[in-house]
Amino acid sequence: MKQQSMKKTQLNWSDFNRGIKQGIPIALGYIPVSFTFGLKAVNGGIPVWIAILISLTNLTSAGQFAGAGLIIAGASLFEITLTTFVINIRYMLMSLSLSQKITRMPLYKKCVMAFGITDETFAVASLGKTEVSFAYMMGLITCPYWGWALGTVLGAVTTSLLSEKLQSSMGIALYAMFIALFVPASKKSKAALVVVIVAVSLSSVLKWAPYLNKISSGWSIIIATIIASTIGAVLFPRKEDNFD
Amino acid sequence: MTKTLVAVILMAVVTYIPRVFPIALYRRRIESRFFKSFLYYIPFAVLGAMTFPGILDSTSDFYSSLVGMMVALILAYFEQGLMKVALGAVLAVYLCELWF
């Protein structure tokens, strides 16, 4: 066991390069989104270097936006932490899902690559047909990580140069990227399409239905995800060990 | 300033914890066909739930968000890639907000 992992300390470059290649479109998609983040954070009074620090240490879309908004609003540390945590609980599902698809690797490598799990890197890694190795995952997260940082820097220093209308328009970039990830996959699989439709319907109900609309958006996402995936698993159980 | 810095550190910690615990602590292969299928459908479910209805509040105007969403759906249907879909949607929203 020990010997095996010693032999594998050499990085598998072909996996790494495959990851890099698949990460580039994610990085390009991140730039307008993190640009918006940098813009909003600095416009709200957060110093440029703090905005960049948030992107470098958090590397998450929804959680960061909410956290920065609360910092700007002068919320308590408790509220900031709790809200960010609730929004990010969905990563537990992704991390668990990914744990079933990774190659054997030492604990520290799992801890390193876990930092790079985002909605997009997870979607790309888990929709891929092969097992996820450490080298592949590191390749996959490299460009998105720096793209996320770069966009934040650009947004943070440009702030007032952009018209308000353009700034507002950029808010849709993040969601458009989600759409770009699930639509092509749902086109090919009826099961995936059904899961998406159920998830969308549930999150709409949780947003608009009386009483239910008191649930925070972080929890709504988790509840909708769990129910929709359960329905998918009941209606369309997967055949053994197929990743495709 | 100190409070902001502490907030950023706390945010980073509570973002990392849910990412790392399951993958680091859960080593076994899940055997249950049901649970495997459940995990397989997670990315679709989570992306769907995060996109809608959140997308409708993503810009300053409901209708321009709606138009941006339609453009993103069409571009994504024709598999145009993340960057094109993102920029296409932004552009559509921007044009809507200019004209109306």
Beta bridge partners of residue A203, listed in sequence order: none
pLDDT over threshold 60, residue A195: yes
- What distance in Å separates the CA atoms of residue B3 and residue B9, rounded to the nearest whole number? 10
Residue A188 with chain B: CB contacts under 8 Å: none
What is the enclosing helix (H) or strand (E) of A191?
helix A190-208
Same domain, A73 and A13: yes
Say if CB A218 and CB A83 are below 8 A apart.
yes
pLDDT over threshold 50, residue A5: no
Q: What tens digit of pLDDT does each residue of A109-167 get?
A: 999 999 999 999 998 998 888 899 999 999 999 999 999 999 999 999 986 677 788 87
Q: Is residue A176 part of a domain?
A: no
Q: What is the mean pLDDT of residues A193-201?
A: 97
- What distance in Å separates the CA atoms of residue B90 and residue A173, rounded to the nearest whole number? 6
Same domain, A166 and A200: no
Please answer yes or no on whether A195 and B97 come within 8 Å at the CB atom. no
The pLDDT value recorded for residue B23 is 95
Nearest to B73 among A181, A183, A237 (CB): A183
Domain that holds residue A202: 189-239
Residue A191 with chain B: CB contacts under 8 Å: 41
Using 50, 70 and 90 to split pLDDT, how confident is the model at A12?
A: confident
Same domain, A194 and A164: no
Q: Is residue A177 part of a domain?
A: no
- What distance in Å separates the CA atoms of residue A239 and residue B13, rounded to the nearest whole number? 37
Using 50, 70 and 90 to split pLDDT, how confident is the model at A89?
A: confident
Same domain, A158 and A197: no
Residue A25 with chain B: CB contacts under 8 Å: 81-83
Same domain, A165 and A198: no
Same domain, A110 and A203: no
- How far CA B75 is from CA of A190, B18, B50, in Å, comes to 20, 33, 19
Same domain, A37 and A151: yes
Closest-CA residue of chain B to A244:
B40
> How many separate domains does chain A show?
2
Which residues have C-beta within 8 Å of that of residue A16, sequence separation ≥ 6? A135, A136, A138, A139
Q: Is residue A8 part of a domain?
A: yes
Nearest to A77 among B7, B12, B94 (CB): B7
* Nearest alpha-carbon partner for A87 in A220, A204, A203: A220
Same domain, A149 and A34: yes
Q: What tens digit of pLDDT does each residue of B45-66 get?
A: 989 998 999 899 888 899 999 9
Say if CB B61 and CB A165 are below 8 A apart.
no
Same domain, A151 and A32: yes
- What distance in Å separates the CA atoms of residue B84 and residue A53, rounded to the nearest whole number? 28
Say if CB B36 and CB B60 are below 8 A apart.
no
| pLDDT mean across residues, chain A | 88
Residue A88 with chain B: CB contacts under 8 Å: 14-15, 18-19
- Amino acid sitting at position A16: F
Residue A197 with chain B: CB contacts under 8 Å: 48
Q: Is residue A154 part of a domain?
A: yes
Q: Is residue A140 part of a domain?
A: yes
- Which of A170, A197, A214 is at the close of a domain? A170
Q: Is residue A100 part of a domain?
A: yes
Same domain, A161 and A193: no
Using 50, 70 and 90 to split pLDDT, how confident is the model at A6?
A: very low
Q: Is residue A244 part of a domain?
A: no
Q: Is residue A91 part of a domain?
A: yes
Q: What tens digit of pLDDT does each residue of B13-22 get?
A: 999 999 999 9
The pLDDT value recorded for residue A203 is 94
Same domain, A106 and A41: yes
Q: Which A residues in the span 14-73 are in contact with B, Cβ-Cβ below 8 Å?
A: 25-26, 28-29, 32-33, 46-47, 50, 53-54, 57-60, 62-64, 67, 70-71
Same domain, A85 and A122: yes
Handedness of CA A206, A208, A214, A217 (dihedral sign): positive
Q: What tens digit of pLDDT does each residue of A41-76 get?
A: 999 999 999 999 999 999 998 889 889 989 998 989
